[in-house]
Amino acid sequence: MARIVCLLLLFLSALPLQAREVPRNIVLVIGDGMGLAQISAAHSLRSQLALGRFPVIGLVATASADELVTDSAAAATALASGHKTRNQAIGIDPAGRPLPNLVERARARGMATGLVVTSRITHATPAAFVAHVPHRRQETRIAEQLANSGVELLFGGGRDMFLPRLQGGQRKDGKNLLQRLARSHHLANDAKSFARLDSLPAVALLAMQALPRAGQRPVPLAQMTTKALELLARDEDGFFLMVEGSQIDWAGHRNDARWVVQETLDLDSTVAHVLDFAQRDGNTLVLVTADHETGGLALEGRASEQELEIDFTTHGHTASLVPLFAFGPGATLFAGILDNTDIGQRLLELIGQKSSP
């Protein structure tokens, strides 16, 4: 039986794109820093992970254009554009030329677009889906590109990059980009105003910088994502949504095992809501992957029923393959061992095709 399934997947992967199902909606979920060991640790504490519901699984190589070990900027650029770039660069190739990305392609097709993160919305991963700058630290410049991008939905943290210094922000140019966004978007800055958001375009920047850790956020990632799906799904032309569990990476950099597991479980709970939506909708492709692994995490055993023995080999990133999970129309495109650029290229192809009525 297993051999039959493998042969079927190989047959489907060889079909031209036009012969396969094409989704109307695409949801790309990124666990920043989430490798196989992080998922293994989460699975040891919660055996029924939502990730176990995916019928198609693969592995992803993550090297950047200039290093075997990538950073988030180069990795997210590969996922967003299908092209390699150097570490630290956002949305440009190694020569500095802008790379068209999934959000731009989706908007050109008339699809609604959205980004949901637990970091600043100007951080490396979300930035790569909208901005084109030489260095990820140029976050005030990224904020301006976000404000001018026309993206219909932006949920996360990072108000400081949109506000001038006189108003507690980081901008030296004196611009108040939130005022500019208020002319085109419904704005929220706390849980109460977020709950009132009921139509697009919508921006919810729920903290001056990054959002707090899982379990302490004014609006949980699962709730932000559910609201995003609800609003974006009203667009008859479909939508593209990127969701990032940003802080798995931060916990890995600190070698904080408990935080790593907490953030990974938080992302899995969010994935459960995305899968529930996709199953009801029937025309949504869901991908879950990582930009890279962080910490060189090793799961060594169980200290108690609720505590694991976890060790780390580094405070940085590693070059380990990361997992890829796929569900819905087009999922078979993402089986096997892929490069991160394959994901971006295949998603761009899917967006370029018309979905089934």
Cβ-Cβ contacts under 8 Å for 213 (sequence gap 6 or more) = 247, 259, 262, 263
- Each residue of 188-244: pLDDT tens digit? 999 999 999 999 999 999 999 999 999 999 999 999 999 999 999 999 999 999 999
Cβ-Cβ contacts under 8 Å for 209 (sequence gap 6 or more) = 120, 157, 158, 160
**Residue 17: pLDDT above 50?**
no
Given phi > 0 = left and psi -120 to 50 = alpha, else beta, which region is 215? Answer: left
Predicted pLDDT of residue 305: 77
Predicted pLDDT of residue 184: 95
Of all residues in the chain, what percent are helix, strand and coil, respectively (each to 5)? 40, 20, 40
**Residue 1: pLDDT above 70?**
no
Place of tokens 């060594």: 300
Bridge partner list, 317: 294
Predicted pLDDT of residue 21: 86
Residue 47 domain flag: yes
Can you tell me the distance from the alpha carbon of 277 to that of 281, in angstroms, rounded to the nearest whole number? 6
- Each residue of 81-112: pLDDT tens digit? 999 999 999 999 999 999 999 999 999 999 99
**Residue 170: pLDDT above 50?**
yes
**Residue 340: pLDDT above 60?**
yes
Can you tell me the distance from the alpha carbon of 264 to that of 50, in angstroms, rounded to the nearest whole number? 11
Annotated catalytic residue within 47, 64, 72, 269: 72
Burial class (CB in 10 A: 0-12, 13-18, 19+), 180: middle
**Residue 15: pLDDT above 70?**
no
* Tally of domains in the chain: 1
Pull the structure tokens for residue 206: 């729920």
Residue 329 domain flag: yes
- Each residue of 270-323: pLDDT tens digit? 999 999 999 999 999 999 999 999 999 999 999 887 889 999 999 999 999 999
Residue 129 domain flag: no
Can you tell me the distance from the alpha carbon of 216 to that of 180, in angstroms, rounded to the nearest whole number? 30
CATH number at residue 93: 3.40.720.10
Residue 35 domain flag: yes
Residue 136 domain flag: no
**Residue 11: pLDDT above 70?**
no
Q: Which range (10-14, 198-202, 239-243, 259-263) has the least confidence?
A: 10-14
Can you tell me the distance from the alpha carbon of 134 to that of 86, in angstroms, rounded to the nearest whole number? 10
Active site residue 72: yes
**How many residues does this entry show for the chain?**
357
Can you tell me the distance from the alpha carbon of 28 to that of 135, in angstroms, rounded to the nearest whole number? 23
Q: Enter the pTM of the model.
A: 0.94
DSSP state of 78: H
Predicted pLDDT of residue 3: 55
- Sign, Cα dihedral of 176, 182, 184, 185: positive
Mean pLDDT of all residues belonging to the chain:
94
Residue 161 domain flag: no
**Residue 134: pLDDT above 70?**
yes
Can you tell me the distance from the alpha carbon of 166 to that of 298, in angstroms, rounded to the nearest whole number? 46
Residue 158 domain flag: no
Residue span of the structural domain in which 65 resides: 20-118+220-352
Can you tell me the distance from the alpha carbon of 259 to that of 252, in angstroms, rounded to the nearest whole number? 8
Tell me the residue type at 309.
E
Helix (H, G, I), strand (E, B) or coil at 20: coil
For residue 291, report the phi and psi dihedrals to the nearest 5 degrees: -80, -30
Best CA proximity match to 61, nearest among 249, 291, 242, 253: 291
**Residue 5: pLDDT above 90?**
no
Predicted pLDDT of residue 357: 45
Residue 3 domain flag: no
**Residue 354: pLDDT above 70?**
no
